[in-house]
Chain A
Amino acid sequence: MCVCPGPRRIGIPVRSSSLPLFSDAMPAPTQLFFPLIRNCELSRLYGTACYCHHRHLCCPSSYVPQSHLRYAPHPAYATFCRPKENWWQYSQGRRYVSTPQKFYLTPPQVNSILKANEYSFKVPEFDGKNVSSVLGFDSNQLPANAPIEDRRSAATCLQTRGMLLGVFDGHAGCACSQAVSERLFYYIAVSLLPHETLLEIENAVESGRALLPILQWHKHPNDYFSKEASKLYFNSLRTYWQELIDLNTGESDDIDVKEALINAFKRLDNDISLEAQVGDPNSFLNYLVLRVAFSGATACVAHVDGVNLHVANTGDSRAMLGVQEEDGSWSAVTLSNDHNAQNESELERLKLEHPKNEAKSVVKQDRLLGLLMPFRAFGDVKFKWSIDLQKRVIESGPDQLNDNEYTKFIPPNYYTPPYLTAEPEVIYHRLRPQDKFLILATDGLWETMHRQDVVRIVGEYLTGMHHQQPIAVGGYKVTLGQMHGLLTERRAKMSSVFEDQNAATHLIRHAVGNNEFGTVDHERLSKMLSLPEELARMYRDDITIIVVQFNSHVVGAYQNQEQ
């Protein structure tokens, strides 16, 4: 069995729109999955080429994106390390036998790739006044997987105040991240709704009246919702609010946002698990709910209401607050904790949750059971269900599931499930006027850039135009030559800012194209973006970014009001 041992297995190059169930699976089984896949030839080619990549990818000196999930650890590969350039030439040679010369994307081509998924939303102003503490947000994503496994969501709560924004990083396919991106905000919004509103909605459903809208979505045209599962999802959601109605006597409507977030996360994960266990008579839906449950997703969600900012995080995406100090410089405040092996308290938690004799096996090579990088996630029932349950569901499931090596594979040392939870860690922050923006991004960004650089780049971008003070000669002695040098430098800086109308795009440009001096290098950017999609994942992970801009005036006004 060709179990690919690298940090990241090669995904088969899937260009078809049909979603691979587990694109993390090995080439061989997936070809069984998709006998009609267009790039059979290519993928076979990569079946042989991949060892070479992996040798390189294990190289500790060069940056390599880490996958969330892998099958089996194999420590031996570091010895085969080769410099990146060698590999590049090698792969070029293989990939483009007939055209050995390098090709570069032109700046407009680069821009069209970078901007393909960008989205901006400005909170509308009324009477020239924007009463929301959020000015708007920019978001964007750059795929490395094909199709991309990251998802993003943004919506305004209509029945309560506040705005929800979230990034979701899927693994073992995009089914789970897709489902979570569609459903989680409804669960949160429902959790936040006062008893009366819930009753009103339920009555409306019952009597067939028009429903109160709950969320106003802010979606890029590429962000889709599953039509087929809509009914199923709605029924689960309705069950949830019915239970909320039953539980709540309607006496105290003092809803705690933190609690609501935690409940919503847990409930959704529970529903995902239940739906997969129950199945669906519709075979497509049945397959879908199974795919959702067997794949996984992390989530990092922010809820902004006035000066109250809650960040609920499950997994290793991150929320970062951009704070402008009095001297104009930028500093980063992290508003989430990564749930992975780098987090001591997570390690501690896992050890406490399982018997002592598992202490060594529960986290191996910085992965949960030696397999999974994030220690908390939606879906991933392989780490949650008992072995019995897993076997039962797979056996009764559709053939595709049965034939899949990955789903059948039971993690080693699997004694006391569940090993994984979707329960988020919620951090509350009270916004201050100096808090200018919040960045939510999947680990694809944080792996490539230090948080301090991220905040500085966004901060300079957002304020750039106002902040680049006009030069005045004043009484100083300045020569024409000095002035010219200064101006040329400023212009170079400006032009890279002006290229992007979207802070997230600007950040991606830096994340992918930054050279060792911290400036965007077009050649590098062009190389990175022209990687064939089968190879892109070797050099970078999916990147999804949302930059939320706060309205300092409104935040300041809140503050004064309360003083």
Chain B
Amino acid sequence: MFYRLLSVVQRQRTSRGWQNWSSARSGASAAEAHSVALPAQAQVVICGGGIMGTSVAYHLSKLGWKDIVLLEQGRLAAGSTRFCAGIISTARHLSIEQKMADYSNRLYQQLEQETGIQTGYTRTGSIFLAQTQDRLISLKRINSRLNVIGIPSEIISPKKVAELHPLLNVHDLAGAMHVPEDAVVSSADVALALASAASQNGVQIYDRTSVVHVMTKKGEVTGVETDKGQIECQYFVNCAGQWAYELGLSNEEPISIPLHACEHFYLLTRPLETPLQSNTPNIVDADGRIYIRNWQGGILSGGFEKTPKPIFTEGKNQLEIHNLQEDWDHFEPLLSSLLRRMPDLETLEIVKLVNCPETFTPDMRCIMGESPLVKGYYVLAGMNSAGLSFGGGAGRYLAEWMVDGYPSENVWELDLKRFGALQSSRTFLRHRVMEVMPLLYDLKVPRWDFQTGRQLRTSPLYDRLDAQGARWMEKHGFERPKYFVPPGKDLLALEQSKTFYKPDWFDIVESEVKCCKEAVCVIDMSSFTKFEITSTGDQALETLQYLFSNDLDVPVGHIVHTGMLNEGGGYENDCSIARLNKRSFFMISPTDQQVHCWAWLKKHMRLDSDLILEDVTWKYTALNLIGPRAVDVLSELSYAPITPDHFPSLFCKEMSVGYANGIRVMSMTHTGEPGFMLYIPIEYALHVYNEVMSVGQKYGIRNAGYYALRSLRIEKFFAFWGQDLNTLTTPLECGRESRVKLDKGVDFIGREALLQQRQNGVYKRLAMFVLDDHDTDLDLWPWWGEPIYRNGLYAGKTTSSAYSYTLERHVCLGFVHHFSENTGEEQVVTADFVNRGEYEIDIAGQRFQAKARLYPVASLYTHKRRKEDVELSDLHGK
């Protein structure tokens, strides 16, 4: 149907269909597509001949790997790649995505020169329209982040928009962002060019060859079974696009690659009377849910509608493929939006409405990396309809990952291991992508949560907390309380509460924080990942000593904060480990580490009957008792001495709480406040919670949520893995030398790198920024990713932020770099360098003065109430 359409169009334009290229290629390469049998073995087999597969092949071959086979079930550059709208857009929300898109842009630009294949690359620029002030803020935030990584962009007025694009109706605009270096390109031709270059580098390409399943042995890839025979291989790369999920499941040990396709529509028109210039800028009208680009003097316009049509839920289905037709009724809202934006198009003649399914993931980010279950099984898929923009960069990072063991950028946000088995349900995926697709063009404000696929993993206290007014967020499928709405208090409806300014929960969280400081609060923190490592002899200690950077050879009962580092000294995980007895350890990691940390440990531990690793996340409910009165509550419930003498900080004891026995009580709170974590076997959870709440009554106990926790830990300069720390940050870069056993003569992963770093100095340093002239009520709130300026020069980005109710200021955490003024090269950052700077934080283009600190504010620890400040209201229950 529409296959024909685009290929006809292509031939008209460039007279370069697949057929031409095929014959050209057969001259250049010995591998004749159909006639030659598959090789018996290869180092790497890539499945998928779209832009992802060819990009991975291209980059692998550039990095020197030659023994690569690329298999495509149909023809090269078919599928979504062929129907892609062809827009390269660098304006992305995530820095890593911006970098991937930027790299892709530069790669595609020179591809024609490199391969001699016309790609139709035209630099057009993009204009992102804002119909509302909130949208403009969102654009300004992106704008300030684009600028600091060297992508030119600017915020422009509606008047300027009208100058840049003659057809636009600009009367309802609040402003716009112009990204002049964005481009359009023929994605199919890009894929062909990449394939051509790869094949010149020795990659063998076979089309009309389907992968049946991947063969594995002992958790490693051994080969690929195709419909044309077997290929032995070490590495397999799943670039099967919307079929990646099915391909993953076809394995003997199924691999979950959570993605799901939705139908996607765009419109093609005949040329205008005066055809549009080929360099007419692309338009993204996110409030109108549409994008528009020039297409052969006419218009190509599609969008992300509010009511997506998910497809292929049950896998590849001929019937559904047949039914992929133009659905004008479905397109109507987008067409209305288009005509509102460009009223002059009324008389323009339609060529076609193209229906090309796009793939979406549960969190709107693409999926790359190695499977946690099968070594050598790599994935690159789920592009959320930005495949062309990401193709080059994503292929490069994956190739680096395979060749070097890790990519040159932190890609945790895109790592396959951020998902667990729970995201592999077809029902979940279908429901979630229906939320994700419209979300692409929805306004994203700080701390928005997904609404679908919720209430999957919950603590046994969920109902109790919910009844007490808990509002929930989700992490790794686990419901966690954000804050508790007091009875009688109403919050804004979901839509109305979207704001970049002071949120409506401000006062609620304030009272929770205050209660943590002055009395005691309970936070349900059951979502944390919990592992137990046990051995018959000393194996556990020996292994852990090698895997973790801090010294774990501590007396029984002690808790150690430690990093789990990679060879480069970067944090793979940041956790707390309690030594339960000589031979067993209890390990607490962030919630989203469940898959990643498990995979890492499995990879590096020789597990056998003598050394057992167990995931006990589901076995324990965790209650965090924060506050000065926590000790009173606990001692009343346990009849055991809990004074600091008996129970010093960072100590772990099994004791009874109420009637319940065997509760692991730890004297830490993840916030720096005094208090205890209770790890409760789940069947006791309700009992212990009830006891704590009833005994706590007289100490003013109340529930609190993660927003209070965040405020407390950020003001105390507690960095969290996944937000502040990642695989490219080392303990030395965040002032945690004390948590590393560099001088104890014990070897551990990353030691070499750290020693070297200690010698040479660090190139970035985590610092805490207290905003000085920021008006909490009136100014935009920081979120994360805001550029940091030191003495007027870009020095890094924030990683997280919170309002400190104690300091009555906003606090941001972020890394300070030292970029040479002349060369831009990174230089060593010393404490002195950090301390001597004048800092500004750029929030959506507005700069706020900030004080940088390398250590937490001391007064926070000695906070005491002065007698004369006590008032009657302090006698009220909190």
Binding site for B on A (CB under 8 A): 468, 470-473, 477-481, 483-484, 486-488, 490-491, 494
Contact B350 A483 (CB under 8 A): yes
Is B339's CB under 8 angstroms from A481's CB?
Answer: yes
CA gap between A470 and B345 in the complex, in Å: 23
- Given contacts A473-B353, A480-B338, A484-B339, A491 and B329 within 8 Å (CB-CB): yes
Which chain B residues numbered 265 to 305 have a C-beta less than 8 Å away from chain A?
A: 267, 269
Q: Name the segment of B198-206, B320-328, B775-783 touching the other chain.
A: B320-328
Residue B336 interfacial (CB < 8 Å):
yes
Q: Is the CB of B326 within 8 A of A483?
A: no
Find A473's partner among B339, B346, B352 (CB 8 Å cutoff). B352
Given A470-B325, A472-B326, A487-B332, A480 contacting B353 (CB threshold 8 A): no
Residues of A within 8 A of B327 (CB): 470
Contact A483 B328 (CB under 8 A): yes
Task: Count how many pairs of residues, one from A and one from B, have CB atoms less than 8 Å apart in the complex.
Answer: 60
| Interchain CA distance A472-B328 in the complex, whole Å | 8
Nearest-Cβ distance from residue B4 to partner chain A, whole angstroms: 13
Inter-subunit contact B329/A483 (CB<8 Å) = no
Which single residue of chain A is at the shortest CB-CB distance from B347?
A479
Instruction: Tell me, yes or no, whether B752 is within 8 Å of chain A by CB.
Output: no
Report whether A494 and B329 are in contact in the complex, using a CB–CB cutoff of 8 Å: yes
Q: Are B328 and A480 closer than 8 Å at their CB atoms?
A: no
Q: A487-B328, A491-B329, A494-B329 are in contact. Are A473 and B335 (CB under 8 A)?
A: no
Taking A481-B339, A487-B332 as given, write out 19 further A-B residue pairs in contact, using a Cβ cutoff of 8 Å, ordered by the A residue number: A470-B328, A471-B326, A471-B328, A471-B329, A472-B325, A473-B351, A473-B353, A478-B349, A480-B335, A480-B338, A480-B345, A480-B350, A483-B328, A483-B350, A484-B346, A487-B329, A488-B336, A490-B332, A494-B329
Interface size on B, residues (CB 8 A): 22
Q: Answer yes or no: B348 CB below 8 A from chain A CBs.
A: yes
* A488 partner, pick from B332, B345, B352, beta carbons under 8 A: B332
Residue of A473, A480, A484, A490 near B326 (CB, 8 A) is: A473
A470 lies within 8 A of B326 (CB): yes
Chain B minimum-CB-distance residue to A494: B329
In the bound complex, residues from chain A placing their C-beta under 8 Å from that of B352 are 473
Contacts of A486 in B (CB 8 A): 328
Contacts of A483 in B (CB 8 A): 328, 335, 350
Give the shortest distance, in Å, between B763 (CB) and chain A (any CB). Answer: 54
Kindly report which residue of chain A lies nearest to residue B268, judged by CB atoms.
Answer: A473
A-side contacts of B267, CB under 8 Å: 480
Q: Chain B residue with minimal CB distance to A468?
A: B329
Q: How far is the CA of A265 from the CA of B325 in the complex (A)?
A: 55
A471→B329 CA distance, assembly (Å): 8
Output the residue of B328, B331, B345, B346 with the most chain A CB within 10 A. B328
Nearest-Cβ distance from residue A151 to partner chain B, whole angstroms: 40
Cβ-defined contact, B346 with A481, below 8 A: yes
**5 residue pairs bridging A and B, Cβ less than 8 Å apart:** A471-B329, A473-B352, A481-B345, A481-B347, A483-B328
The 0/1 profile, CB within 8 Å of A marked 1, for residues 341-362 of chain B is 0000111111111000000000
CB distance from B2 to the nearest CB of A (A): 11
Question: Nearest Cβ in chain A — how far from B181, in angstroms?
Answer: 30
CB nearest to A471 among chain B residues: B328
Query: Min CB distance, B225 to chain A, in Å?
Result: 36
Say yes or no: A480 contacts B339, CB within 8 Å: yes
Specify which chain A residues have a CB less than 8 angstroms from the CB of B351 in the assembled complex: 473
Say whether B339 contacts A479, CB under 8 Å. no
Q: CA of A479 to CA of B267 in the docked complex: distance in angstroms? A: 12
CB distance from B346 to the nearest CB of A (A): 3
Bound CA span A481–B336, Å: 9
Assembly CA distance A477 to B269 (angstroms): 11
CB neighbours (8 Å) of A494 from chain B are 329
Which among A470, A473, A477, A479 is the interface contact of B329 at CB below 8 angstroms?
A470
Min CB gap B339→A, angstroms: 6
Residues of B within 8 A of A488 (CB): 332, 336
Tell me how far the C-beta of B276 lies from the nearest C-beta in chain A, rounded to whole angstroms: 15
Of all chain A residues, which has the CB nearest B338? A480
B326 to A, closest residue via Cβ: A472
| Complex interface bits, B454-477 against A, C-beta within 8 A gives 1, otherwise 0 | 000000000000000000000000
Q: Which residues of A contact B346 (CB under 8 A)?
A: 479-481, 484
B332 to chain A, nearest CB (A): 4
CA of A481 to CA of B342 in the docked complex: distance in angstroms?
11
Knowing A484-B335, A484-B336, A487-B335 touch, does A477 contact B328 (C-beta < 8 A)?
no
Complex Cα distance, B339 from A478, in Å, reads 15
Q: Are A490 and B329 in contact (CB under 8 A)?
A: yes
Contacts of B349 in A (CB 8 A): 477-480
In the assembled complex, which residues on chain A have CB atoms less than 8 Å from the CB atom of B348?
Answer: 479-480
Complexed CA–CA distance, A487 and B347 (Å): 16
